[in-house]
């Protein structure tokens, strides 16, 4: 059984910053605390293992409109890898 690749906290941080949100602003929009945003962005194992796809989906929904094409492509690739889909 293959193990899913994890989302990178650094990638999510870059997405947030590119969209121009502070940790607190993003947390309010996603429905999580600023501390949880920080823990995710710093790849805290206990937080990374407990976040669900819905948090990642909301994070993306909030930030995607301000994301560059390169960021959108990179994020799409990460999502495809996460779910084990080929994106060739």
Q: What is the CATH number of the domain that holds 60?
A: 1.10.260.40
Measured at the CA of 70, the angle between CA 82 and CA 23, to 5 degrees, comes to 70
Residue 2 lies inside a defined structural domain of this protein: no
Distance from chain centroid for Cα 35: 15
Report if residue 56 sits inside a domain: yes
**24 in a structural domain:** yes
Question: Is 3 inside any structural domain?
Answer: no
CA atoms of 45 and 23, how far apart (whole Å): 19
Res. 69 pLDDT band, cuts 50 70 90: very high
| Residue 42 covered by a domain | yes
Give the residue among 2, 11, 1 at the shortest CA–CA distance from 77.
11
pLDDT over threshold 90, residue 88: no
Q: Is 1 part of a structural domain of the chain?
A: no
pTM of the entire structure?
0.82
Q: What confidence category does residue 66 fall into, taking pLDDT thresholds of 50, 70 and 90?
A: very high
């Amino acid at each position: 059984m293959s193990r899913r690749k994890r989302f990178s906290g650094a990638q999510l941080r870059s997405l947030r910053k590119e969209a121009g949100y502070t940790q607190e602003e993003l947390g309010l929009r996603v429905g999580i605390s600023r501390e949880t945003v920080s823990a995710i962005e710093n790849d805290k194992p206990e937080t990374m293992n407990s976040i669900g796809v819905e948090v990642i989906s909301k994070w993306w929904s909030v930030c995607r409109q301000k994301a560059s094409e390169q960021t959108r492509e990179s994020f799409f690739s990460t999502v495809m890898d996460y779910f084990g889909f080929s994106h060739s």
